[in-house]
């Protein structure tokens, strides 16, 4: 009986699949490119609006070099933004990590 339970458990575990680094890395490998209107910067988050008037909240691991969105007074300007989408968590409202921002 113990052998049967052990074999059944092994089969169930092997078929259920578990999160390995390879399977979760594919989520972060996709890159999105969009025309977004800059709405502002606050608390480490960059706020944009897409062409459908939906909010897009992004963050950057490094300060964006060009243009200076934090100090540049560029609210209302449209930019080509390339970002890597991330899964939302209960502690973060970001939808992605900024790769590049261009006019």
Q: What pLDDT shows up at residue 26? A: 36
- Residue 36, burial from CB neighbour count under 10 angstroms (0-12, 13-18, 19+): buried
Q: What is the predicted pLDDT for the residue at 30?
A: 86
- For residue range 18-64, list pLDDT tens digits in order: 544 443 333 446 899 999 999 999 988 999 999 999 999 999 887 76
Stated pTM of the model: 0.67
pLDDT of residue 76: 94
Q: DSSP assignment, residue 44?
A: T
In the chain, where the domains are located: 30-102
List pLDDT tens digits, range 64-88.
666 888 887 899 999 999 999 998 8
- The predicted structure's pLDDT at residue 90: 87
We find that the CATH architecture of domain 30-102 is Beta Barrel (2.40)
């Amino acid at each position: 009986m113990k052998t049967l339970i052990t074999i059944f458990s092994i089969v169930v575990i092997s078929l259920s699949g578990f999160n390995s680094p390879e399977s979760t890395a594919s989520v972060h490998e996709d890159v999105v490119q969009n025309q977004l209107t800059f709405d502002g910067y606050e608390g480490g988050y960059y706020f944009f609006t897409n062409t459908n008037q939906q909010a897009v909240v992004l963050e950057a691991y490094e300060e964006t070099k060009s243009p200076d969105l934090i100090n540049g007074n560029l609210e209302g300007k449209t930019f080509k933004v390339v970002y890597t989408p991330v899964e939302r968590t209960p502690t973060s409202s970001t939808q992605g990590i900024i790769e590049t921002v261009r006019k």
